[in-house]
Amino acid sequence: MIKVFFYLMAFITLASALVVAAGKNLVRSLFMFFVTLFGLAGLYVLALADFVAVTQIVIYVGGILVLILFAFMLSGKEALNKVSVQADGFISLKNAPALLLAGLFLVIMFNVVFKAQADNLPWVQAAISNQNIMPVNGTGINHIGVNLMTRYLLPFEVISILLMLALVGAAHLSRKPKEDEV
């Protein structure tokens, strides 16, 4: 049952991700990205990270994707059409080096995974035999909160400052230039 859910979610995610990366229509790939993010949220739930799944939906779907959508709406329609017309023929000689590079990258990663044998790693086996896996009793969020405020307090604050700086920088970048500046 759970396996069926996993493979269903994995299939949805992969198919929509392919449309995102390779689709010709920008609008379609934008909205397929919604599907990808929701599928990934489902996979997070299956990996016992329900809080991460909710955060994924809130931050990615509610924040980042809406931001991308805004940028898409702000840039004109005719410019987008021009791009999509020029990008004719996904599998062509011009694209061959990039396709080759991505394919070889995938092959190398698969090779590493096969060599590593992740299911037979000593610490994973030990965790399974000791029942030292994360419990599903709702204390996961508790753990996250305590960790975030104790062990990872400094990175947390650094990240928040970085995010603030980035947002101020973004607001500064996208302002209308003054007349005398141009």
Partner 1 sequence: MESLTRTIQAVPLNHYIFLSAIIFSIGVMGVLLRRNAIVIFMSVELMLNSVNLLLTAFSVYRGDAAGQVFVFFIMALAAAEVAVGLAIIVMIYRNTNSIDINVLNRLKW
Residues 72-101 that bind partner 1 (CB under 8 A): 72, 74-76, 79-80, 82-84, 86-87, 90, 95, 98-99, 101
Residue 46 near residue 5, CB atoms below 8 Å: yes
Measured from the Cβ of residue 97, the count of other Cβ atoms closer than 10 Å reads 9
Q: State in Å, rounded, how far the first CA of the chain is from the last one.
A: 63
61 binds partner 1 (CB under 8 A): no
Q: How far is the CB of 55 from partner 1 (least distance, A)?
A: 7
37 binds partner 1 (CB under 8 A): yes
Among the listed residues 8, 77, 157, 170, the single contact to partner 1 using CB under 8 A: 170
Q: How far is the CB of 176 from partner 1 (least distance, A)?
A: 9
Structure tokens at 44: 């997070």
18 binds partner 1 (CB under 8 A): yes
Residue 39 near residue 80, CB atoms below 8 Å: no
x-marked contacts with partner 1 along 123-142 as a string, rule CB under 8 A: xx--xx---xxxxxx--x--
Q: What is the DSSP string of 99-120?
A: HHHHHHHHHHHHHHHHHHTGGG
